[in-house]
Structure 1
Amino acid sequence: MLEIGAGSERDGPDWDEAVIVALGSNLAGEFASSEALLETALVHLDQAGLPVLRRSRWWRSAAWPDPSSPEYRNGVVIVEAPPEPRSVLDTLFSIEAEFNRNRGERNAPRTLDLDLIAHGRRVIDTNDLVLPHPRAHDRLFVMGPLSEIAPGWRHPVLGLTAQVLAARAGVGADARAG
């Protein structure tokens, strides 16, 4: 795994093929903290055949839409992945289940949330898979970490870079690194 924020736009990476996964947690479960849980989730990604190529720092933000819930920790990784996005999503759901993720109420507190943000330049809209992620572009706790590791990545539909989207994000405006 590369170091946090490793790499440089100057090196000219080809973000057109990037497979981007967002991680989040606001319930530590059996772990000492959400950060410890997220670090362990990174190991599970590698073990499940999604090796992490780049990762952001962990960001913190108030829970949304209910700020009285525990604060979130979020980050973004770029992984090496199989060519089929559905298989990546299935792997992410499987890892969430290992961390006792309970899918029920939308935006409820959770141990682990893994979202497939983009799989290359693919644009997909089916009942069970939408790419790019339909709300990621407006979430600072996704675009902020992504702009840390891939500021020049361009949204496949909007055409804007992660850096521009982070500056425009309206949800999670309090998100910050560390």
Structure 2
Amino acid sequence: MNTTPDPSLQIAALGLGGNIGDPPAAMSHALRAIDAHQDCHVTAVSRLYLTPPWGKTDQADFFNCCALVETRLEPEDLLDLCLAIEKDMKRVRDERWGPRTLDIDILAYGTRELKTEKLELPHPRMTERAFVMLPLADLAPQMMISGKKAETWAGSLNSTGIRIAKGDGLWWRLPAA
């Protein structure tokens, strides 16, 4: 058995959310689609959170989670996969921070820093958002983001109104109730 790590594999952290239709089902479908991709494997998913809207506050609460994905895809190829899944799930981008069926963001890709027209890594606003940092801290409390651990960022943010909707990281694999 070969126990040498595969240097082509990277761990990417994804943030998922939505507030139209059945967001937990949409996120579950998205995670399953990512996991089914030949160059990706979902290794962990956070608890599912129900969070007040951020930015544009006159809309329904959001469901949010984070996932760790082992991947051979380059960051922009992973982004293309995520955007294709959003499109398949009928994501419409009408307004910034507006309601959506599904949103998938690449939060981090290993320790890589990147800034292109399509993608910035680590995600430029993730450390300002409790709805991102709480689930990320569930999965990777020691992950370093902009010089601080995920758990430190999570503990420094206002999490008023955020509550746990599903208490373990297996919710995305279970049949809908």
TM-score, normalised by the number of residues in structure 1: 0.81
CA shift, 1:164, in A, is: 0.4
The question of 1:125 aligning with 2:125 is answered: no
Residue in 2 aligned with 1:59?
A: 49
Partners of 1:112 and 1:168 lie apart in 2 by 27
Structure 2 spans left out of the alignment, 5+ residues: 1-9, 166-177
The question of 1:161 aligning with 2:149 is answered: yes
CA shift, 1:147, in A, is: 0.7
Partners of 1:96 and 1:127 lie apart in 2 by 19
Partners of 2:83 and 2:74 lie apart in 1 by 15
Cα offsets for 1:11-50 (capped at 9, x unmatched): xxxxxx531000001002xxxx221222122111112342
The question of 1:38 aligning with 2:27 is answered: yes
Aligned residue identity for 1:142: V
CA shift, 1:173, in A, is: 4.0
The answer (yes or no) to whether the contact 1:138–1:168 under 8 Å persists in 2 is no
Query: % of aligned pairs identical?
Result: 34
Structure 1 spans left out of the alignment, 5+ residues: 1-16
Structure 1 runs of 4+ aligned residues shifted over 6 Å read none
The answer (yes or no) to whether the contact 2:11–2:71 under 8 Å persists in 1 is no
Cα offsets for 1:76-102 (capped at 9, x unmatched): 000011251111111110110010011
Residue in 1 aligned with 2:163?
A: 176
Aligned residue identity for 1:35: P
TM-score, normalised by the number of residues in structure 2: 0.82
CA shift, 1:61, in A, is: 0.8
CA shift, 1:118, in A, is: 0.4
Partners of 1:162 and 1:177 lie apart in 2 by 18
Is the partner of 1:105 in helix, strand or coil? coil
Residue in 1 aligned with 2:36?
A: 47
Is the partner of 1:36 in helix, strand or coil? helix
Across the aligned residues of Structure 1 and Structure 2, the Cα RMSD in angstroms comes to: 1.5
